[in-house]
Structure 1
Amino acid sequence: MEKKAVSPEEVQKATLDYFKGDDLAAKVWATKYALKDSFGNTYEKNPDDMHRRLAKEIAKIEKKYPNALSENELFELFRNFKYIVPQGGPMTGIGNEYQIASLSNCFVIGFDANSDSYGAIIKIDEEQVQLMKRRGGVGHDLSHIRPKGSPVKNSALTSTGIVPFMERYSNSTREVAQDGRRGALMLSVSIKHPDSESFIDAKMESGKVTGANVSVKIDDDFMDAAINNKEYMQQYPIYSDNPTNKKEINANALWKKIVHNAWQSAEPGILFWDTIIRESVPDCYADLGFRTVSTNPCGEIPLCPYDSCRLIAINLYSYVKNPFTPQAEFDFDLYQKHVGYAQRIMDDIIDLEMEKIDMIIEKIESDPEDNEIKNTEYQLWEKIRYKTLQGRRTGVGTTAEGDMLAALGLRYGTDEATDFSEKVHRATALAAYRSSVVMAKERGAFAVFDAEREKNNPFINRLREADPKLYEDMVKYGRRNIACLTIAPTGTTSIMTQTTSGIEPVFKPVYMRRRKVNPNDKDVRVDFVDENGDSWEEYIVFHHKFVTWMEANGYDASMHYTKEEIDELVQKSPYYKATANDVDWLKKVQMQGRIQKWVDHSISVTINLPNDASEELVGQLYEEAWRSGCKGVTVYRDGSRAGVLVEVKEEKKESDEKEHCFCYNETQLKRPKELECEVVRFQNAKDKWIAFVGLLDGRPYEIFTGLSDDDEGILLPKSVTSGKIIKVVDEDGNKRYDFQFSNKRGFKTTVEGLSHKFDKEFWNYAKLISGVLRYGMPIDQVIKLVSGLQLDSESINTWKNGVERALKKYIPDGKPSDQLCPHCKEGNLIYQEGCLRCESCGYSRCG
C-alpha cells in the first residue's frame, strides 16, 4: 500500500502536541527521525507512527523464532520513549523503503595482514567514504603506518609518517559529511608507535585534522613508566619481536604533553588498551578475526575490522516507582524483564540489518559502473555481512542515570549513589547475557562460540561468580551474541526522552529571560516569575522532572515563586549539587570504573571541567581512570578549542588584510544592493543570539544582531550558515534589509525586514558599528571600541558582548593582541579562530 505524505503543517502540529509544546524535541524528531523520501516528503506525523513502524518490522522477525513478541507488545515498549529506545541508525532505517542504508551506527575498518603501503592506505580511504555515505561513522587505527623517515622502495626514499594521512582521512570525512550524510571518524594510534607524539600534536595546529576525533592507545607499561618517571621503548612494527625501528623516550614528558593537549583542546582522548583487550570477550576469538583494533567515533564500542555496532538504550528513570517521594524504589523485576526484551530486539535488528546489507549489495551489483570501479565497495559489504553474521554483536545500553538517582533521592557522585548504579548495571549485564543464552537455545549460538576460549576472561568470570546457573547454561547452550552491552551517548534521542545521555546528571538549572507562559503547562516546564508577574526579570526555569519532585513533595508548581523561594527549593532537591560542575570529578571517574566492570564493551563519557581547571587535575583524572579500570576517558575544559568538523577558511593573502588599516575606496563605500552574509549563532551566558554579518571582499561590512527570538520571526534552520543581505527600497522610499538563503533543495527563502526584527536600540547601535566597519577600522580595534562603550542598560551591555563575539571570528589568525596574558603576564597573546591564545604558556580564552 502506497504511503500518503503528510504536510509540514500537520507534522508541526502533531509533534508539538506529542511533545507537549517542547519545540526543540519536536524539531529534532521531525528533522532526523521522521520517515522521508529523497524529495523531502514526510510520511509520519509523530513518534507514534515511527514506533509503530519499528514494532511492525521487528515483529516480522520475532515470528521466525519461538516465544515471539507481538507488534503491540513491542509498540508499548517503544511508546513515548518510555522503556526501550532504539538509537539513530535503527530508528531511521528500520522499515524505511526510501533509503538504502545500513542500520549500524558505526564501523571499524582495517587489514589483518601487513598494510603499510599506499595501496592499503588509499583502500582504507575509499572504504571510509563508502561507509559514511551509508550513514555510518568509522574508526580505524594508524599504528600500521611506518614512522616518519623510514626507508621506502619508491621515488620518495623515506616515509612521510602518520600525520599526512591523518589529514587525508580527515578531509575525506569533511567531504562526505554534507547534505544530511553523517561524517564521524575516529583515528587512533598506539603510544608504542614512534610517531605517536606527532599524532598527539597534530590537532593543535589551527585548521588541521578537523574532520576526526583522535585517541591514543595507552598500555599499562607506558602508564607505569609515566607515573614512576621511567624510560619507555617505542618501536615499529609495534607488535614485532624484531622491530625495524626502536626509540627510547621519557614517558613522563610525553604523558605531560598528552595531558596539556587534552587540557587545552579536549584531545587526544585516551584508550587504556591493555584494559580493553584484557576485558574483551570478542578478543577470546582474536585468531578467528575478532582482534580489536580501534573504536567507533564515540569510543563506546571497541571493534575488530569490519564489525559494527547497533545501539539501543533503556530509560532507567521509567523503572522508578513513586519517584521523588520517601516511598521511591527501583522495579528490578520489570527492569530485568525489559533488558531481556531489549537484547532480543537487538538480535532481531541484526536480522533486519542483514536484509539492509543484502539490499546494499544488490544495489552495487545493479549499478551501471564497471566491476573494477565497484569492487572495493562490493567487497567491503561482503566482509561486513560475514562479520555481522559470525558474531551477531549488539549494543544494549542505558540512559537517564542521573534522573533515576534523583528520583530515588540519591545524589549523583555520592558513594551511596555509585553503589546503587553498580547494582543496576550488574543487573543489566546478567539479564542481557541470560537473554542471549536463552536465544542461543531457541535460535542458535553465534557461529564461533567456544566456552573453553572464554573461561579465563575477567568479564565472563564476573558473570559466573554473580550467577553460577547462568554460566552453566551458557556453557551448555552457548550465547547468541559475541558481546552485548555498552553505554553510548544518546545525543538527540535524549532530547526526545527529556533525559540526558550516558551517565550524566540531567538537571542543570539555568537563568533564562522568557515571556510569561501558561503556568499550568508544567509537563514540559514551569516559568517562575516574581510576585508582580513581571516576566522580564530573570528567574530559574526547571527541567520537567523537578516539577515532578515539587508536586511529589507537596509544592504547587503552578504558583509564582520569588527567586529566593526557588533557591530554597533547589537546595532541598536531590538534583542539588549534582550538575556537571558540582560533582567531584574523581568520584565520577571512580563511578565509571565500577560500572565499567559490568559493561562488556565500553562507556562513552566526557568529564566536563570548568575553564579554570588545571592541567594537574586533568592528569589526576586520567591516572585515576586507569587505576579504576576505565577503558577510555575524555575531558573537556570549558572554553578549550572548538571540536571537529569546523569550517576551515582559506588563508587570506597578505594583501587581503593590511597590518594596521583596511580601507574601502569611494565606490565600495556606497553599499551594494546585495552583500554576501554569514550567520553566526552563539550562546552568551544564558541567552541565545544570532548575528547576520554582511561581507564585502570577505571582510565584515555591516552587522545585525540580537536575541534569537522565534516569536519575532527569526526562524532559520540550523543548517543555514550563509546567504545574502539585500537592500530594498519601497515605493515610498522606505528602506529595509532582507535576508535570503537557499535551502538544501536549492529553493530560495527570504526573511523580510531583517532590520526590524531586533530591538530598536540594538539596531541604532548596529548602524554605528557598521559605519565604523565600512570605513575600514581593523576588526580587533572595532572590538576594542565596542568593548569600551559605557552603556547603562544591562540588556544593551549583553548585546554589546554578543557583537564582540560575532566579530572575533574575523580577526586573522596569528594577529597579536595588545593585552597581557592573565595567566603568565607575558605579552604574547595572539588571536586563533577568534580566541586569544598565549604563545608562552598555552593559556586560551574564547568568547
Structure 2
Amino acid sequence: MEITTQCKTLSPIAEDILGKRYYHEGEDWRGLCERVSFVIANGDKELAEDFFNIMYNLDFLPNSPTLANAGKDGDRQQLSACFILPVEDDIVEIMETVKNTAIVHKSGGGTGFDFSSTRPKGSPVSSTNGVASGPLSWMKIINATTEEVKQGGMRRGANMGTLRVDHPDILDFILCKKNDKTMTNFNLSVAVSDVFMAAVEKGDNFELVNPHNKETVLMDAREIFDIICENAWESGEPGMIFIDAVNSTNPVPHLGAIRSSNPCGEFYFIPFGVCNLGSINLVNMLKATEDGSYEIDFDRLRKITEIAVTFLDKVIDVNHFPLTEIHDMAHKTRPIGLGVMGLADMLLYMKLPYDSDAGREMVGEVMKFIDEVGWETSNMLGREFGTFPEFQQGSLPSQKTPRNCQITTIAPTGTLATFAGVSFGIEPNFNYVYKRKIVDSEFIQVHPLFEQVAKEEDFYSEELMEKLRTTPSLKIRDLDEVPDHVKEYFVTAFDISPEDHVKMQATVQKYVDNAVSKTINLPYDATSEQIGELYMMAWKLGCKGLTVYRDGSRDDQVIVAAKESGKDDIKLLEICGDTDAEEADIAEDIAPTQIDIMNPDTLASAMVDLSPEEKCELLQRVNLFRLDYNTKIDLHPKETVNGKRTKFTTGCGELYCKSFENPINDGDDAILWELFMTTVGGGCKAHSAALAITVSLALQGRANIKSLTHHWSKIQCDACKGRDTDGKSCPSIVANYIRSLTQDPASGNVRKAIAAPKSAQKTIKVQTSLKGVCPECGEAIRRIDGCRSCSACGWTRCD
C-alpha cells in the first residue's frame, strides 16, 4: 500500500466546508494556515514556520474556533471550544451563569454545568417563604437562552447538564428530556460515585442527600441504575460519568472538585475551566517498511507532538477569553487538550483489526508515547517560561516543571477529520462507501485504502468498485469477492461488539490525562440489561464516562407527518431523524424510494430483489411506525389469515394465546396482525382481554411494539414467584411470545413485519431510509457522543 502525504490539496468536501465557515476573505488553505500560525506564534518566525508546516501538511489541526477566529479583531479572537460554568444555589449567581452562557455561546464555545448544588424542588426558601423549583427549572432557563443565541454565528450552542446520582431530584433529571420535549439544547449525564456502583452490584440501598440541609432518603440503587439504563436504551441519554475516576486525576484539587464536562465529554474541569483542543493525524505518522507493510514513525510522531504541544500552549497567551474568570483560570492552570484522529485508518494501514488485542496493544503504545512526549515538552516549556501558577507537586508527582496542568484529551474531531480525510477521533469507520454532496453535485466514494488493498490482494475489479458505488448500503463483510482475512480488519462500528468498543476506550483512557470522547455503538436489538453490563464494565476498566447509542433509538423517529406531496390523495411520512423543525423542511427536496406499506403487492414487490438481511431490515423498519392521526383508522386485514395457538403456564392457571398473521404475498412473509387471549383455571379474563387488545393495536401500528415488549418483560407478578411458570407475569409471557413470533431466535433480527395503519381516506407512503437527515444536503448523519455529523457534506452539530 502506498500512503500519500495529504498536503496542499484538500478534498472538495473539505474545501466546501472551509469556504463556508472558516476562510477569511480571499483565503485558501495556505492562507488560512499562514494566518493561524502567524497569530499563534506571536512574532516568533521559527515557531510560525513549524506551526504552518504541521497544519498545512495536515499532520496536526487545532479546534474549529482557532481555525476560524485567529486573526479576528479584539474579542472576536476567541480560540477555545470547551468551557465549564458554575451553578450555585443562589438565584443571583444562577442568573449570572445564564448571562455568561450567552456570552460563551456567542463567542463560539460549548458549555458544561453541574446542577448538584441546587436544592431539590419543594425545598423551603427562607428568603421568600416559598419553595425551590429544583435544578430542572434552571436547566430550562439555560436551554431557552441557548435557543436564542447562535454559537459564534456558526452553529447553535451546546450544553452538558450533569447531576450527581445522590441528588434527590435524580429521577426527574434522568427523565427530563423524555417528559419535556423542549429540552433540546442539553446533553445529559449522571455523575455516579464508586459507592453507588458498588451498591448496584450488591443490590443495596443508596442515600440521596439534599445539598441544602443534608437530609437523606434511602432508595434502591438498582432501581436508579435500571432507570438510567432504560432511558439510555430508548434515547442514548443520559450518559454516565464515573466522577470518582474523574477526580482521581484532578491536577488542581486544591482549587476544587471536578463536577462536569463539556458537551462531548472529553474535557472535565473545575468551574470556569477552559481548554483549547487539537489533534494529531495518525495516518500521517506511518512509514512504509521494506516488505511493504506499515509501522509508526516514532521520530516523526515525537516531532509533531512537540510542536503541537507548543502550539496549544501558545494559544492560551493570544486567546481573547469571553469572561474574566475564564481568562484567569486559563492562565492559572494552562490546560491543553492534545488528541488524535485517524486511529481507525491507522489500524487499517497496519492491517490490525480495531477489535483485536493486537490492535488495542498498538493503540496503547501510540497513546502512551504521545502522552509521555507531551509531558516532556510541557516540562521543557515550564523551565523556559515558568510552570503553571497553581502547580503543586502532590497533584502531579511525576512532573517537575510542567507548563500545563494537563496535556492529552480525545475529542470527536468530526470536522477536523473531514479536512484531513481520515476517520473521526478514535472511532471505528462507520462504513467504507460514502455518498458525498458538494453544492448540486453528488458522488459515491469508496474508501481509497480499500481500492489499494483490493489491487494488492488481487481481488480488484471495476465491476466490484461499480457495485460498491451503485449500492452504498453494501458492507465489505458481505462481499464474496473479498478474502476473509481482509474482512477481519475492514470492520465497521456495528461489526464491532459493544464490549470491544469499551475495551478500546479503556485502552486509550489509560494514557490520556483528561477524558475520551467515544460512542459505544449497539445494535437495535440490544437490551437495557446489556447497557447496564457495559456501564459496569467501563467503570471497572477505569473509563471516566460512557456514552451509548443503540442503532435506531434516536434517529428512527417519525417527526414530520402529513406533509402534502402535491397530490390530495397522498400523505408522506418523511423519516427525518433527530432534527429540528426547520431542518426537517429539507425533506421536501429528497426523492426517496417509497412504498405503500399497506398494499401487499407493492410491499412484496419491494422485497423481491432484497437479500434476506435487507428484507429483515425493511420489515423491521415497517415495525417502527407509530402514527397519531386524528382521523379514524380503518384496518383491512385479508379475509383469510394464518393462526397459531400456544398455551402458557402462569401463576394463576393456563394462558392461551392465539396469534394471527396477515400474508403479504404467496411466500412466507406476513404481517403479525392480531392477538386473542383467554385464561383457564384462574386469572383475570378481563385483564387478559385488555392486554390482547393493547397488543393487537400495537401490532397494527398504533404503538411501538418493541418498546412495549421491552417494558412488559420486566413486570413481576407475585402469583408467579416461586412457581414453575413460563414467565414472571402474564405481560412478560406475552412479551416473550411476541418476540418469538417477530424475531429470528438465532440472530435476533426481526422476521415478521408489524403493520402500520391505513387512514380511512389517505394512502400512506413511507421513506425507506430511517437515518437522521443532514439539514444541508439531506444525506444520512451519524451520531458521535453528543454530536451529529454528515459524511457527505461535512455538516456537524453538537446538541
TM (normalized to structure 2)? 0.70
Match of 1:294 in 2: 260
Match of 1:583 in 2: 496
**Distance between the aligned counterparts of 1:498 and 1:51, measured in 2?**
17
Report if aligned partners of 1:811, 1:831 keep a CA contact under 8 Å in 2: no
Report if aligned partners of 2:519, 2:548 keep a CA contact under 8 Å in 1: yes
Task: Read off the aligned partner of 1:404 and give its amino acid letter.
Answer: M
Match of 1:433 among 356, 372, 375: 375
Match of 1:444 in 2: 386
Match of 2:95 in 1: 122
What is the total number of aligned residue pairs between the two structures? 636
Report if aligned partners of 1:707, 1:758 keep a CA contact under 8 Å in 2: no
Map 1:209-220 onto structure 2 (within 5 A): 209-220=183-194
Judged with a 3 Å threshold, the aligned counterparts in structure 2 of structure 1 residues 58 and 110 are, in CA distance, closer, same or farther, namely: same
Task: Read off the aligned partner of 2:47 and give its amino acid letter.
Answer: L
**Distance between the aligned counterparts of 2:572 and 2:31, measured in 1?**
41
Are 1:505 and 2:413 counterparts? no
Are 1:26 and 2:15 counterparts? yes
Are 1:826 and 2:695 counterparts? yes
Deviation at 1:195, TM superposition (A): 0.9
**Distance between the aligned counterparts of 2:367 and 2:248, measured in 1?**
20
Deviation at 1:214, TM superposition (A): 0.4
Match of 1:276 in 2: 246
Match of 1:96 in 2: 72
Judged with a 3 Å threshold, the aligned counterparts in structure 2 of structure 1 residues 123 and 559 are, in CA distance, closer, same or farther, namely: same
Report if aligned partners of 1:264, 1:842 keep a CA contact under 8 Å in 2: no
Are 1:141 and 2:110 counterparts? no
Match of 2:327 in 1: 385
Segments of 5+ residues of structure 1 without an aligned counterpart are 1-14, 36-41, 361-380, 456-470, 515-523, 528-540, 650-677, 681-690, 709-717, 725-738, 740-753, 767-782
Match of 2:269 in 1: 303
Judged with a 3 Å threshold, the aligned counterparts in structure 2 of structure 1 residues 313 and 758 are, in CA distance, closer, same or farther, namely: closer
Deviation at 1:145, TM superposition (A): 1.0
Report if aligned partners of 1:410, 1:574 keep a CA contact under 8 Å in 2: no
**Distance between the aligned counterparts of 2:605 and 2:463, measured in 1?**
33
Match of 1:313 among 279, 294, 314: 279
Are 1:258 and 2:249 counterparts? no
Report if aligned partners of 2:82, 2:262 keep a CA contact under 8 Å in 1: yes
Report if aligned partners of 1:136, 1:182 keep a CA contact under 8 Å in 2: no
**Distance between the aligned counterparts of 1:494 and 1:817, measured in 2?**
50
**Distance between the aligned counterparts of 1:385 and 1:813, measured in 2?**
55
What is the DSSP-based 3-state SS (H/G/I as helix, E as strand, rest coil) of the residue aligned with 2:142? helix
Task: Read off the aligned partner of 1:608 and give its amino acid letter.
Answer: N
**Distance between the aligned counterparts of 1:831 and 1:504, measured in 2?**
39
Match of 2:40 in 1: 58
Are 1:414 and 2:356 counterparts? yes
Judged with a 3 Å threshold, the aligned counterparts in structure 2 of structure 1 residues 152 and 706 are, in CA distance, closer, same or farther, namely: closer
Match of 1:109 among 58, 74, 85: 85
How many percent identity over aligned positions? 27
**Distance between the aligned counterparts of 2:351 and 2:228, measured in 1?**
38
Write the deviation string for residues 556-577 of structure 1: whole angstroms up to 9, x where unpaired.
Answer: 6767668699543363426646
Match of 2:663 in 1: none
Are 1:204 and 2:178 counterparts? yes
Are 1:69 and 2:47 counterparts? yes
Report if aligned partners of 1:608, 1:638 keep a CA contact under 8 Å in 2: yes
**Distance between the aligned counterparts of 1:80 and 1:704, measured in 2?**
47
Deviation at 1:221, TM superposition (A): 0.3
Judged with a 3 Å threshold, the aligned counterparts in structure 2 of structure 1 residues 228 and 790 are, in CA distance, closer, same or farther, namely: closer
What is the DSSP-based 3-state SS (H/G/I as helix, E as strand, rest coil) of the residue aligned with 2:429? coil
What is the DSSP-based 3-state SS (H/G/I as helix, E as strand, rest coil) of the residue aligned with 1:573? helix
Match of 1:735 in 2: none
Judged with a 3 Å threshold, the aligned counterparts in structure 2 of structure 1 residues 809 and 107 are, in CA distance, closer, same or farther, namely: farther
Match of 1:610 in 2: 523
What is the DSSP-based 3-state SS (H/G/I as helix, E as strand, rest coil) of the residue aligned with 1:499? coil
Report if aligned partners of 1:429, 1:485 keep a CA contact under 8 Å in 2: yes
**Distance between the aligned counterparts of 1:98 and 1:719, measured in 2?**
33
**Distance between the aligned counterparts of 1:513 and 1:383, measured in 2?**
43
Deviation at 1:785, TM superposition (A): 4.4
Map 1:666-677 onto structure 2 (within 5 A): none
Match of 2:419 in 1: 496
**Distance between the aligned counterparts of 1:401 and 1:153, measured in 2?**
55
**Distance between the aligned counterparts of 1:554 and 1:784, measured in 2?**
43
Match of 1:352 among 318, 325, 340: 318
TM (normalized to structure 1)? 0.66
**Distance between the aligned counterparts of 1:219 and 1:250, measured in 2?**
15
Map 1:504-653 onto structure 2 (within 5 A): 504-506=427-429, 508-510=431-433, 542-553=446-457, 567-569=480-482, 571-573=484-486, 576=489, 578-642=491-555
Match of 1:246 in 2: 216
Map 1:160-239 onto structure 2 (within 5 A): 160-177=133-150, 180-205=154-179, 207-237=181-211
Task: Read off the aligned partner of 2:37 and give its amino acid letter.
Answer: A
What is the DSSP-based 3-state SS (H/G/I as helix, E as strand, rest coil) of the residue aligned with 1:568? coil
Task: Read off the aligned partner of 1:500 and give its amino acid letter.
Answer: S
Report if aligned partners of 2:348, 2:490 keep a CA contact under 8 Å in 1: no
Task: Read off the aligned partner of 2:65 and give its amino acid letter.
Answer: G
What is the DSSP-based 3-state SS (H/G/I as helix, E as strand, rest coil) of the residue aligned with 1:126? helix
Segments of 5+ residues of structure 2 without an aligned counterpart are 1-5, 468-475, 636-671, 676-690, 713-749, 755-768, 771-799
Report if aligned partners of 1:202, 1:208 keep a CA contact under 8 Å in 2: no
Judged with a 3 Å threshold, the aligned counterparts in structure 2 of structure 1 residues 813 and 410 are, in CA distance, closer, same or farther, namely: farther
Map 1:780-819 onto structure 2 (within 5 A): 785=598, 789=602, 792=605, 811=628
Task: Read off the aligned partner of 1:230 and give its amino acid letter.
Answer: D
Match of 2:26 in 1: 43
Report if aligned partners of 1:215, 1:271 keep a CA contact under 8 Å in 2: yes
Write the deviation string for residues 559-612 of structure 1: whole angstroms up to 9, x where unpaired.
Answer: 766869954336342664621111132122122223212111000111011101
Report if aligned partners of 2:7, 2:56 keep a CA contact under 8 Å in 1: no
Match of 1:482 among 405, 416, 421: 405
What is the DSSP-based 3-state SS (H/G/I as helix, E as strand, rest coil) of the residue aligned with 2:184? coil
Write the deviation string for residues 40-76 of structure 1: whole angstroms up to 9, x where unpaired.
Answer: xx4323x23212222222233545xxxx4242x3222
What is the DSSP-based 3-state SS (H/G/I as helix, E as strand, rest coil) of the residue aligned with 2:131? coil
**Distance between the aligned counterparts of 1:227 and 1:487, measured in 2?**
30
Write the deviation string for residues 235-279 of structure 1: whole angstroms up to 9, x where unpaired.
Answer: 1228xxxx4321111001111111111111100000000000012
Judged with a 3 Å threshold, the aligned counterparts in structure 2 of structure 1 residues 510 and 194 are, in CA distance, closer, same or farther, namely: same
**Distance between the aligned counterparts of 2:631 and 2:544, measured in 1?**
38
**Distance between the aligned counterparts of 2:200 and 2:92, measured in 1?**
36
Task: Read off the aligned partner of 2:52 and give its amino acid letter.
Answer: F
Judged with a 3 Å threshold, the aligned counterparts in structure 2 of structure 1 residues 702 and 492 are, in CA distance, closer, same or farther, namely: farther
Report if aligned partners of 1:133, 1:181 keep a CA contact under 8 Å in 2: no
Deviation at 1:117, TM superposition (A): 2.6
Deviation at 1:190, TM superposition (A): 0.5
Deviation at 1:196, TM superposition (A): 1.0
Backbone CA RMSD of aligned residues: 4.5
Match of 1:333 in 2: 299
Deviation at 1:829, TM superposition (A): 3.9
Judged with a 3 Å threshold, the aligned counterparts in structure 2 of structure 1 residues 561 and 103 are, in CA distance, closer, same or farther, namely: closer
- Structure number with the bigger relative contact order (C-alpha 8 A, sep ≥ 6) is 2
Which moved further from structure 2: 784-793 or 825-834? 825-834
